[in-house]
Amino acid sequence: MQMIADRVGVDGPHGTLVPQTSLTVASGELALVAGDPGAGVTAFGLALAGRLRPSTGTVTIAESDSDSDSGAGAGAEAEADEPNGSTRTTRLTAPAELRRRSAVVDSPGVSEPDEALPVRVVVGEELALAGAPASKADVASWLAEHDAAAFAGSRFEHLDAGLRIRLLTALAASRPGVELVVLDRPDRHTSDVDAWLDVARAHAERGLAVVVLTATAPDSALPATPARLGRLSQPDPMRCLREDHS
């Protein structure tokens, strides 16, 4: 699977939120995207995931017939081409299909949890959203499996930033059909880049396409040159897929 954002721009009520930006990321890759603090970075992430209609440009999911999870979902707008006469590529553009195959993690005002809720409640709601069993016993089991049982009764706002990011990303990535995960500005919670970079890389290693939006992390702290809002030519994403998943 490959997500292709081509000249995506978003206009707000008072001007441009996202200047035209292009980005491509595929399964097993991690793309870092830097922008200025504010709503523009979030708007770009929401556009990638089909939660916000771009004012300009397009977001497309492309997959070949060799991809393990092929086929368009119900209602998807799709077109196929066979440039070499042998490999069939399907391109999906319907916002509903983008939403089905993506998850936006911890986006302010969109997918961030209610900070006052206990961790066990947030986890239960996310499991139910993913269609997974979400009883008290199921939640307790999930937290134990993710080394977080001791925090079940804690208010979510009191979690360490690294644990918060790890739990929310794992929950989002567990939703059926999700192939693209967008982490919205994890650097707003911590200046420790490794706290979110290790989580993002781990999910890319197991085959997801991962985009991390940043606004305050300095380039010198990042493992690679980030893509930037407002640019059409971007550095290649980091290839993370482990050999046993290729």
Q: Chain-centre distance of CA 202, in angstroms?
A: 13
> For the whole prediction, is pTM greater than 0.75?
yes
In the structure, what pLDDT confidence band is assigned to residue 75 with cuts at 50, 70 and 90? very low
pLDDT of residue 243: 67
C-beta atoms surrounding 187 within 10 Å: 24
Cα–Cα dist 189/199, whole Å: 14
pLDDT of residue 223: 94
pLDDT of residue 38: 86
Lowest mean pLDDT among 72-76, 216-220, 223-227: 72-76
pLDDT at 82 over 70: no
Q: What percent of the residues of the chain are helix, what percent strand, and what percent coil, each to the nearest 5? A: 30, 25, 40
pLDDT of residue 87: 52
Domains recognised in the chain with CATH numbers? 2-116+177-245 (3.40.50.300)
Looking at the DSSP bridge assignments, the partners of residue 78 are 92
Mean pLDDT of 190-218: 97
pLDDT in tens, 147-200: 999 999 999 999 999 999 999 999 999 999 999 999 999 999 999 999 999 999
Percentage with pLDDT > 90 across the chain: 79
Cα–Cα dist 13/246, whole Å: 44
**What is the identity of the amino acid at 217?**
A
pLDDT at 69 over 50: no
pLDDT of residue 73: 46
Averaged pLDDT of the chain = 90
pLDDT of residue 88: 60
pLDDT of residue 245: 54
Cα–Cα dist 161/114, whole Å: 15
Cα–Cα dist 12/55, whole Å: 9
Strands (E), 88-208: 89-92, 102-105, 180-184
- Angle CA 207–81–97, to nearest 5: 50
Buried b (16+ CB within 10 A) or exposed e, 123-137: bbbbbeebebebeee
